Amino acid sequence: MPITTCIFDAYGTLFDVAAAARAVAAETGRETFARHWPAIAAKWRMKQLQYTWLRAVMGAHIGFWQVTQDGLDWALESEGLEGDTGLRERLLHLYRELAAFPEVPAMLAALRQAGKQTAILSNGAPDMLDDAVRSAGIGDLLDDVLSVESVGIYKPARVVYDLVGQRFGCAPEEVLFVSSNGWDACAAAGYGFQTVWVNRAGDPVDRLPATPDRQLPDLTAIPPLAGA
């Protein structure tokens, strides 16, 4: 069945989750942080994801902005930088303005020109996603931004993927779902979407019940895959 709808995860897929820490590390006076930033960026992302999964299993949902702050606090403490409140505030401020990966605007524009519906489906809170989309200047290239907050549980719960069909009236097999998170791409494949894992790091495939249909190193080839 032809693809009518292209759905993207946000953080790590369209938006570079390491951009905030990288930018702060380059600022004058941040020499100590510059020595720690790669580890902090990695740990921040790891804990952010772990807390979404754990909260989903525990039935203790809380918004993604709080999860993001909790993950950062853990990462800073693990590197001995928990006492720098100015650093924490700066990192969180920049996280609301994450840069999109360079290929994102042209990729979305090509999909739109071909008549494909485009949207984000994210764990992010609506206000976070609004800030990121606005900062990246891609709002006019998206038909919608869908957040798990409407169902109160994080991916990979199936009810989250249900949001796509509810919004666009499409069958799962009409959807090309794109994520940089291997577990997310696997879950979406099990749901019935056509899936692409944007495997920028060259990681192994997760050992889960389903696997992504394709892997790509970035988003450049998404339009031809979608028939654009």
Active-site residue list? 9
CA distance 210 to 222: 21
- The closest alpha carbon to 12, from 146, 184, 204, belongs to 184
- Phi-psi map region of 217: left, alpha, beta (phi>0 left; psi -120 to 50 alpha): alpha
Amino acid at 57: V
DSSP code of residue 81: -
- The closest alpha carbon to 4, from 167, 216, 179, belongs to 167
Between strands 214-216 and 117-122, the pairing is: unpaired
Q: What secondary structure does DSSP assign to 180-204, as a single string?
A: S-HHHHHHHHHHT-EEEEE-TT-PP
